[in-house]
Amino acid sequence: MLNTIQIKVRGYHLDIFQHVNNARYLEFLEEGRWAFFDDFGGIEFMGDGIAWVVVNININFRAEANFGDVLEVQTRYTKLGNKSITMKQTIINTQTQDLVAEADVTYVCFSKTLKAAIALPDDLRQKIEQAIVVSE
């Protein structure tokens, strides 16, 4: 499953060099993940004392984005572990088709009660496995 959203670069996204500040890309990526989860069936899987905790973000910046650019954030699942999921995200400039940034984001399934990572519930694991197969 691939989810996409578009974000228009605004003045408040820019740094003193007049291109998108690196920290803003993390916000763009997060917005993309929330949209993905909305389309994936909401975040009902966050109930029952379970939370999803980001434990790693690896981002590569490839090209600058500037005021007025429209960026497409693409998000999909790529890897499923026993206690974790990894998502691949790319940010594309829709006008130039340049790859602006790409990131791998890893979450762990976290028990709020135990305060520890736990194995993914079986029903969620099956749903994610199907989403990975569809996007391959």
pLDDT at 71: 98
Residue 131 near residue 78, CB atoms below 8 Å:
no
Mean pLDDT (whole number) for 12-37: 95
* Total count of domains within the chain: 1
* Average pLDDT of every residue of the chain: 90
pLDDT at 87: 94
112-131 residue pLDDT tens: 899 999 998 888 888 888 88
The closest of 79, 106, 92, 97 to 25, measured between CA atoms, is: 92
Active-site choice (15, 38, 48, 104): 15
Domain that holds residue 22: 2-135
| pTM (two decimals) | 0.89
Our answer to whether residue 104 is catalytic in this structure is no
Residues of the chain with pLDDT > 90: what percent? 70
pLDDT at 122: 86
Is the pLDDT confidence value at 136 over 60?
no
Q: How far apart are CA 74 and CA 56, in angstroms?
A: 18
Which CATH number does the domain housing residue 26 bear?
A: 3.10.129.10
Tokens coding 41: 């069936």
pLDDT at 88: 97
Tokens coding 71: 């960026």
φ, ψ of residue 46 to 5 degrees: the values are -90, 0
